[in-house]
Amino acid sequence: MNTYIALLRGINITGYKIIRMDDLRKIFESMKFRDVKNYIQSGNMVFRDPEKDAGSLVGKIEARLKKELGYEVKVIVRSPGEFKKIISGNPFLSDKQKDPGRMHVTFLSEKPGKDLIGAIHEIKYPPDEFYMAGKEIYVHCPDGYGKSKLNNTFFEKKLKTVATSRNWRTVNELFKIAMAKQIENRP
């Protein structure tokens, strides 16, 4: 049985695409996922499933959400192992002047092409910074994420892929929840 973390894009934001987390959990449970747990109201689900291919889970979850909710919700799925690498790879943590409370991770549905990555590195919006690492982008916004131009829409337009962001605290909490699920469900 494998543990996964699903990140839903664009739900429960300023009255748009509202879904109660209890309802979302029930949808995941109806797909026969096990040990389903949600974290806060922004569409973070941790669950277990025998499926070994996270990509096939994305399509399954998106199709069910569209059927149940009547609108499209983009989903990004990662494993606890991927989250562990994301957490250990944050380049901003080495700078003690940077507040972890101002750090975010933008998760991409796929790794962008080299041409798009090259072009985006030319863009600067000081004091905000970003660092790309595969299918993740580390973002540091000293004045707050809400004021930054380095948001999901920016990365989606520039990189031609789906993006959803989580603050550093949420990234760490999701990893803890996923690891606890793995430990409590060992044979």
Task: Scan for tokens 């970003």, then name that residue.
Answer: 130
CA separation for the pair 166, 17 (Å, rounded): 18
Sign of CA dihedral 89, 93, 98, 102: positive
Structure tokens at 104: 């975010």
CA separation for the pair 22, 145 (Å, rounded): 27
Task: Give the start-end residues of each E strand in 75-184.
Answer: 75-78, 103-108, 129-133, 136-140, 163-167
CA separation for the pair 62, 49 (Å, rounded): 16
pLDDT(183) > 70: no
Burial 45-75 (b: 16+ CB within 10 A, else e): bbbbbeeeebeebbebbbebbeebbeeebbb
User: What is the reported pLDDT for 43?
Assistant: 87
pLDDT(187) > 60: no
Mean pLDDT of 33-59: 92
Mean pLDDT of 148-174: 96
114-137 tens-digit pLDDT: 999 989 988 999 999 999 999 999
